[in-house]
Each structure stands twice: as C-alpha cells, then as structure tokens.
Amino acid sequence: MKTKQQQKEEESLIFGLRAIIETIKAGKEVDKLFVQSGLKSELYSELMSLLKEKNIAFQYVPIEKLNRLTSKNHQGVVGYISSITYHKIKNILPEIIEKGKAPLLLILDRITDVRNFGAIVRTAECSGVDAIIIPSYGAAQINADAIKTSAGALLKVPVCREENLKSVIDFLKECGVQIVACTEKTTDYYFQIDFTVPTAIIMGSEEDGILNEYLQKSDAKAKIPLLGGIASLNVSVATGIILYEAVSQRLVN
C-alpha cells in the first residue's frame, strides 16, 4: 500500500512531451525536469524552444533514470510540478525596502537534502527572513515532504529560484546588502558580525561548504565555534544559530 507521501509525489509527477509542453504553457511551475539524452522530434524541438523562452532549467539523464521514475510511456521526459510559486529576488527586494525594513535574506548554496531544506525554511520563517534564494540546479526538490518538514513555512516565505547565484550576489551588493558567508574558513565568529544592516547569509552544502566564487564575493565570513570532537554542525542547526544571532541583534537595536 502506498504512503501519503508516495501518493503526493505521484500526483506531482508529469511525463510525456505534449503533457509537459501544455503544463508549461498553462503557467505551472516545474520544479525538476529530466530529459533523455539524444532525443529528436518536432515535439522535442518545441519543448526545447519553450524551455529556453521560459528560462526553465532541466537536466539530461539516461533513459534508465526516467524508467525508475515511472514505468509509463514517458517519451523521454519526466518532471515534477512545483508545490509553490517561485519568485525573483529583483522583484522581492524593492518591496522589502519599501516597507522600511533592513532586508534579511538567506542564500542556500546546493542544499539538496529535503528534510534539511524544510527545517531551514521553518527556522527562516520563525526568524523573520524576508526571502530564501536557491539555485536552479542542485537544490532540494520542493515536494510534499519538504513542505511538511517546514511546517508549512514554504507556503509563507518567498522562495527565489535563480539561474545564477553569482549574479544575484552582485545585484544584492549593488543594492547595499552585505553578504555574510557562514564558513569555517575564517577567524571571525558569527557574533562578531553586524546583522542589523541589510544582510544576505549564505549557507553551503554539507559536503563541501560554500563555493569559492561566492566566498570571494562575500563582505564578511563567519564561523560557529566548535568545542567538541565533531568537525561540523548539521546545516539546518547552523542556520538556526546564525539567524537567531541576527534576531537577537535586531531586537536589541
């Protein structure tokens, strides 16, 4: 018997060239899209043109992966309809500033674990984060499990899915937002950073942290002191520590 989670994931699954084309034309958000390598047909060309026009990310995969996702006739394309509507930070940031608030943003660099992602978003909502920024590639799928783990916060906090995080960081800096990278590659502790000013905090992958190109663009780097024998914290726990330092500073000031 299928679990509720499996049933919900099946409901978000779409496959077949025409079905996916019509889904995109209908304005539905596609969370993940997998395309078989080497496809050739008029419908395939139409899909590729549409993906380029709408700037929708996809991934080429072998047919074996598609067959694992569904046993039905997928015609070489399988995707998932997103449970939320994505935003763009260029549209969100002016709205935050107009409210007279110092923006508090969270950039997640390749956080792929669904439960970690959901837990992070829950903490972000509780701590007053204005928007969460994720990359088009290498981010956790926002499915029913992510929404459940976030306790519904994913339906409240704007999530901005961006093609190029490097460009996003440049844009934020131009707008006067300081970029704080949470990394062990520094001598500065998180409580030494001023979080009362407009701030975007970058949290990196548990496997290899924040990409060097983002570290180089950051205005400040902050680490959490680790006094035990384990070398790192879970990323959702680390995010909570950093965000509530920002909350503490902003409440005091």
Residue 34: in which H helix or E strand, if any? strand 30-36
**How far is Cα 106 from Cα 178, in angstroms, rounded to an integer?**
12
Banded model confidence at residue 137, pLDDT cuts 50, 70, 90: confident
Tell me how far apart the alpha carbons of residues 205 and 183 are, in angstroms, rounded to a whole number.
Answer: 10
Only one residue has tokens 């400040």, namely 220
Q: How far apart are the first and last CA of the chain?
A: 54
What percent of the chain has a predicted confidence (pLDDT) above 90?
61
What CA–CA distances, in Å, run from 123 to 33, 119, 131, 215? 28, 6, 12, 23
Q: For position 11, what pLDDT does the model report?
A: 58
Taken in order of first residue, the domains within the chain and their CATH numbers are: 4-81 (3.30.1330.30), 89-252 (3.40.1280.10)
Average pLDDT, the chain: 90
Q: What is the pLDDT of residues 20-71, one digit of tens each?
A: 998 888 878 888 899 998 888 999 999 999 998 888 889 999 999 999 988 8
Global pTM reads 0.83
Q: Are residues 234 and 116 in contact, defined by beta-carbon separation less than 8 angstroms?
A: yes
Which tokens in the block code for residue 150? Answer: 């976030």
Polymer length in residues for the chain: 253
Mean pLDDT of 140-144: 79
The secondary structure of residue 41, as a DSSP letter, is: S
**Tokens standing for 197?**
């000013």
Residue 87 has pLDDT above 60, yes or no: yes
User: Quick check: 74 pLDDT over 70?
Assistant: yes
- Collapsing DSSP to helix, strand or coil, 77 comes out as strand
Query: Contact 5/37 with Cβ under 8 angstroms?
Result: no
Q: With contact defined as beta carbons under 8 Å apart, do 98 and 87 qualify?
A: no
| The pLDDT of residue 2 | 46
